[in-house]
Chains A and B, each alone.
With several copies, the nearest count.
Chain A
Amino acid sequence: MSDTAIDRSRLTVSDEVAIQILGMNKWYGAFHVLRDINLTINKGERIVVCGPSGSGKSTLIRCINRLEEHQSGKIVVDGIELTNDLKHIDQVRSEVGMVFQHFNLFPHLTILENCTLAPIWVRKVPKKEAVETAMYYLEKVKIPEQANKYPGQLSGGQQQRVAIARSLCMRPNIMLFDEPTSALDPEMIKEVLDTMIQLAEEGMTMICVTHEMGFARQVANRVIFMDQGQIVEQNEPEAFFNNPRSDRTRLFLSQILGH
């Protein structure tokens, strides 16, 4: 994958808990999508979630910023429990950034406006400051020169980097990625992964649904394997890849890596 040398020792994990999920269950109608999920994630962790299609990976991370509602169990993000309380939801959402598979940039706004929209209207940041922040992050994802273009004028890789910058402009403590590279052409994947690696180096708490196993090995400190709505196995990347303990994991890995 990435050729960027990464110094894993610099990736530290604190002892503070960032996200705690306890006995969480979710149904779509009568269909049990997430079953008894228990997961504690500390600040600075980099979690990669993988698993077959339909196993509930997306649903899991969408529950974390309440794009989906869970029906039982408990989700606590940064000390705030997700209930129906709108205040809490807003608070959590402004702590948690999310990057979607299909970028979901706002096509009617310029790149800069995409990035400043939420800080101005949610964080009530003065415009000038918002623009500065936006430019800072756009530079970080290496596309400051595109600031005044519209999303339609950018390549897929550039768009995804804008999406990341847009999330970062809210200065979140936690970033969620839902297959951020799977809609991209091969050349563009690298651009985006590099950006994510950089983020990881800076100590961002990240949960990333991805099948880029190179990325997982290089960056993740934990890999979670899901199937049928359950966490089937989790482990450190080396152990996970070299020595999967469950049969389902082994089968899955053989498919993915043999590919």
Chain B
Amino acid sequence: MSGTHAHSAAFVRDRMIPQEPPPDRSIGALGWLRQNLFSSWLNAALTLVSLALIGALLAAVLPWVVHSSWTANSLSECREQIKAAYGPEESGACWAVIRERWSQLIFGFYPSEIYWRPILAFGTALGGLAPVLFPGVPRRALYLTAAAPFLVPWLLWGGTVWLPVAVAFGFVLGYAGFRVVAPWAGGILGAIAAGLVPVLWWLLLAGKAAGGLQEILPLGIEPVSSRNFGGFMLSITIGLTAITLSLPIGILLALGRQSRMFIVKVICVGVIEFVRGVPLITLLFVAWLLLNYFMPPNTNFDIILRVIIMVTLFASAYVAEVIRGGLAALPRGQYEAADALGLDYWKAQRLIVMPQALKISIPGIVSTFIGVFKDTTLVSIIGLLDPVGFSNSIRADVNWNGIVWELYGFIALMFFIFCFSMSRYSMYLERRLRTGHR
């Protein structure tokens, strides 16, 4: 046991050594510079190259941005103003075009005296989303969430108040149908009734009922045709609708795809893979050229509605794939526990499976949404006046013929702000949910 030790050097520290500051310049500003920018020759070179790059970019862009005119009424006037102010060789930005066309870039041809309507509509939509997006909002705001889907379109398109009421009544009918049928024939028939009754109502009676009510009690606001929608309002309308509708549809598609029922699964897989396999632009072509062919003769519905349908379909397929990932990540035990407690399929999905699967899928869902919002610019290719489309028609104006960077820059900036804040929000959400249960 003993004698084998070279060191029986037992040692006990009698005095503890306190924290000491590090010896070299590894802290402080200089230390930071050394560690982060000039830690090696390669790094130093990279730093210098980066600095040069940033410098060159700023030198090229900054004077142009700053040497600008906000007041001119045409491109030539603007150029003159800039030459007058900053010298004959200078070129600068004509932000004046943004000032002059600001309201058009935002609202398109929406009648200017009722700009409050789209503003109120998007306010309502945000209000409706708030209780879903942020946990701190009181539960009562959920009423707004329920009302928003009817309120927002009505505010945007105007017309009789009875139409949204009639549409909303369809949901009441559906619920009633379920309550009447379900106890007697069971959940599945109940669900079918809940689906069928409102569809019949909407297709056959809702329009007439709304018309009739309008006769009796004319209540309404000035209707605005969707041809007048344009600018960011159009992007947001399409984006927001597609985003909100694609979530439930995507969930259904994802559930269908996970289903053990072969035919249901095949149909869902087919739809998802088809939609994901083709570019959005071809789907927009369908909306624009073919959707009217698919409808009974002489139905001619709004191009914006058609576009919204296709963009929603597109978003749904992508959301479905994201949610499928979330569903797959859920342990089997959760399903079994729900079964063992006697929850039926839909209740288990709603109470147990979806809340968890959605939580897992949030980053994916949000990036899908960002993608959808960005993709709304494609509608300019089929001639709708979203911001990109609008920039073309502004350029068609003799006064602003030849203006390029200011418009693209402005539009890009706006999109950047929207998309960037969405992605930051998703990070915030992820962080919050990660710590949520701990």
From the candidates A96, A167, A222, name the one contacting B5 in the complex (CB within 8 A).
Answer: A222
Residues in chain A near residue B24, CB distance under 8 A? 71
Per the bound structure, the CA–CA distance linking A225 and B4 in Å amounts to: 21
- Whether A231 lies near B343 (C-beta < 8 A) is no
**CB within 8 Å: A-B pair count:** 134
Instruction: Show the binding face of B for A, using Cβ within 8 Å.
Output: 1-2, 4-13, 16-17, 19-24, 26-27, 186, 331, 333-334, 336-337, 339-344, 347, 351-352, 355-356, 359, 436-438
Per the bound structure, the CA–CA distance linking A104 and B341 in Å amounts to: 11
- Whether B337 lies near A117 (C-beta < 8 A) is no
Q: State the Cβ distance, A142 to closest chain B Cβ, in Å.
A: 22
Contacts A93-B342, A102-B333; A71 near B13 (Cβ below 8 A): no
* 29 A-B residue pairs with CB within 8 Å: A9-B1, A9-B4, A13-B4, A30-B22, A31-B19, A32-B19, A40-B7, A45-B6, A72-B23, A93-B341, A97-B340, A104-B336, A108-B355, A108-B356, A108-B359, A117-B341, A121-B347, A121-B351, A122-B342, A122-B343, A150-B436, A150-B437, A152-B438, A231-B13, A236-B2, A236-B5, A239-B10, A246-B12, A246-B13
Instruction: Show the binding face of A for B, using Cβ within 8 Å.
Output: 8-9, 11-15, 25, 27, 29-32, 35-36, 40, 42, 45, 65, 67, 71-72, 86, 90, 93-94, 96-98, 100, 102, 104-108, 117-118, 121-122, 150-153, 166-167, 170, 221-222, 228-236, 238-239, 245-246
Contacts A36-B17, A121-B343; A234 near B9 (Cβ below 8 A): yes
- Whether B20 lies near A67 (C-beta < 8 A) is no
**Nearest A residue to B334, CB-CB:** A104
Contacts A35-B20, A67-B340; A104 near B333 (Cβ below 8 A): yes
Per the bound structure, the CA–CA distance linking A107 and B134 in Å amounts to: 20
Per the bound structure, the CA–CA distance linking A24 and B385 in Å amounts to: 69
Contacts A90-B342, A221-B4; A30 near B21 (Cβ below 8 A): yes
Per the bound structure, the CA–CA distance linking A27 and B23 in Å amounts to: 9
Q: Is the interface of B mostly helix, strand, loop or mixed?
A: loop
From the candidates B10, B17, B336, B341, name the one contacting A236 in the complex (CB within 8 A).
Answer: B10
- Whether B12 lies near A232 (C-beta < 8 A) is yes
From the candidates A12, A71, A102, A221, name the one contacting B23 in the complex (CB within 8 A).
Answer: A71
Per the bound structure, the CA–CA distance linking A148 and B401 in Å amounts to: 65
Contacts A40-B7, A93-B340, A236-B8; A230 near B17 (Cβ below 8 A): yes
- Whether A170 lies near B342 (C-beta < 8 A) is yes
- Whether B13 lies near A118 (C-beta < 8 A) is no
- Whether B20 lies near A118 (C-beta < 8 A) is no
Residues in chain A near residue B11, CB distance under 8 A? 231, 233-235
- Whether B12 lies near A245 (C-beta < 8 A) is yes
- Whether A11 lies near B437 (C-beta < 8 A) is no
- Whether B6 lies near A14 (C-beta < 8 A) is yes
- Whether B341 lies near A32 (C-beta < 8 A) is no
- Whether B7 lies near A42 (C-beta < 8 A) is yes
Residues in chain A near residue B351, CB distance under 8 A? 117, 121
Residues in chain B near residue A170, CB distance under 8 A? 341-342
Per the bound structure, the CA–CA distance linking A11 and B359 in Å amounts to: 46
Contacts A12-B4, A106-B352, A222-B5; A230 near B13 (Cβ below 8 A): yes
Q: State the Cβ distance, B13 to closest chain A Cβ, in Å.
A: 5
**Nearest A residue to B3, CB-CB:** A9
Most buried by A among B2, B27, B344, B437: B437
Per the bound structure, the CA–CA distance linking A252 and B362 in Å amounts to: 45
Contacts A122-B343, A235-B11; A107 near B21 (Cβ below 8 A): no
Residues in chain A near residue B341, CB distance under 8 A? 93, 117-118, 122, 166-167, 170
- Whether B437 lies near A152 (C-beta < 8 A) is yes
**Nearest A residue to B188, CB-CB:** A86
Q: State the Cβ distance, B431 to closest chain A Cβ, in Å.
A: 16
Per the bound structure, the CA–CA distance linking A59 and B340 in Å amounts to: 14
Residues in chain A near residue B10, CB distance under 8 A? 233-236, 239, 245
Residues in chain A near residue B27, CB distance under 8 A? 29-30
Residues in chain A near residue B20, CB distance under 8 A? 25, 32, 35
Q: State the Cβ distance, B329 to closest chain A Cβ, in Å.
A: 12
Q: State the Cβ distance, A210 to closest chain B Cβ, in Å.
A: 18
**Nearest B residue to A95, CB-CB:** B342
Residues in chain A near residue B12, CB distance under 8 A? 232-233, 245-246
Q: State the Cβ distance, A47 to closest chain B Cβ, in Å.
A: 10
- Whether A232 lies near B336 (C-beta < 8 A) is no
Per the bound structure, the CA–CA distance linking A118 and B352 in Å amounts to: 11
Residues in chain B near residue A221, CB distance under 8 A? 4-5
Q: State the Cβ distance, B188 to closest chain A Cβ, in Å.
A: 9
